[in-house]
Amino acid sequence: GEDVEQSLFLSVREGDSSVINCTYTDSSSTYLYWYKQEPGAGLQLLTYIFSNMDMKQDQRLTVLLNKKDKHLSLRIADTQTGDSAIYFCALNAGNNRKLIWGLGTSLAVNP
Amino acid sequence: KAGVTQTPRYLIKTRGQQVTLSCSPISGHRSVSWYQQTPGQGLQFLFEYFSETQRNKGNFPGRFSGRQFSNSRSEMNVSTLELGDSALYLCASSLAGAGFSPLHFGNGTRLTVT
C-alpha cells in the first residue's frame, strides 16, 4: 500500500540549514505537504507543492520534489531555536485521495 | 478569519464512559477530518466528513463515530472508553476535502482515560 517514510530525528546548530527528507511510494500523488507541530499544539501548514513542480521557495523554506526518486525535502535556512518542532510530510494518494502521513521528524536546534 | 476551534482542550474520563469532542471549522470550509495522535502510532486517520456525509473512514472500531452538521461543525464520539483511547484528537478543516486542498488543524483535544 501507500507509504511515507521520514527519519525520526535531526539535530542542527542555530544558524545552520536544516534538511528534512521524506520518501514515498505512491507516484500518483498530486499534493505534497509539510506541516510543523510544536509541543502541545496542533499541526501548522508550512507549505505544499504540486506534483508538476520541482521546487518551491517561501522565505526561509525551500521544498524540493524529485518525482523519479519519489523524494521530497524541506530545507530551512538559518535555522532558529523557534524552529524546534516535529515536521510531518503528507501526500494525497490512492483512488480515494486520502492523505498519507509520515511519522514526523523531530528537529532539535542547539544554540 | 478564525481558525479551527476544538473543544474542550482537555478531558479526563474513566474506562467505560463515553465522550463527545467538538470541532468548528474555518468559515467556508465544508470538509472536516479527525485524527488520533499517539506517541507510538503517529497520526491515525479516523474519518472525514464533507457536507454532512462521511467521505472516508479509517480503521477504527465502531466505538468511534462522528457526524457533521449543516453549518459544517463536527462532533466525534467515543463510546465505552478504553485506556488505549488516551490520545490527542485533532480536527482539521479544508475547503474542498482532504486530498484536494490543504488541511488546517485545530489545537486538539487531549483525552486521558483512567
Question: For B100-112, how does the pLDDT look when each residue is reduced to its tens digit (9 = 90+)?
Answer: 889 999 999 999 9
Please indicate whether, in this complex, the C-beta atoms of B99 and A104 are within 8 angstroms of each other.
Answer: no
Q: What's residue A1's pLDDT?
A: 66
Neighboring chain A residues of B43 at a CB cutoff of 8 Å: 88, 101, 104
Kindly indicate the confidence band of residue A40, based on its pLDDT and cuts at 50, 70 and 90.
confident
Question: For B26-58, how does the pLDDT look when each residue is reduced to its tens digit (9 = 90+)?
Answer: 999 999 999 999 987 789 999 999 999 999 999
Q: Which of A92-101, B27-36, B78-87, B94-103 shows the lowest mean pLDDT across its residues?
A: A92-101
Neighboring chain B residues of A7 at a CB cutoff of 8 Å: none
Q: Which DSSP category does A95 fall into?
A: T
Q: What's residue A6's pLDDT?
A: 95
Q: What's residue A96's pLDDT?
A: 64
Residue B33 contacts by C-beta under 8 Å, 6 or more apart in sequence? Answer: A99, B45, B46, B47, B48, B49, B56, B91, B92, B93, B94, B98, B103
Please indicate whether, in this complex, the C-beta atoms of B99 and A96 are within 8 angstroms of each other.
Answer: yes
Q: Which DSSP category does B83 fall into?
A: G
Please indicate whether, in this complex, the C-beta atoms of B102 and A43 are within 8 angstroms of each other.
Answer: no
Question: For A62-87, how does the pLDDT look when each residue is reduced to its tens digit (9 = 90+)?
Answer: 999 999 999 999 999 999 999 999 99
Neighboring chain B residues of A88 at a CB cutoff of 8 Å: 43
Please indicate whether, in this complex, the C-beta atoms of B92 and A43 are within 8 angstroms of each other.
Answer: yes
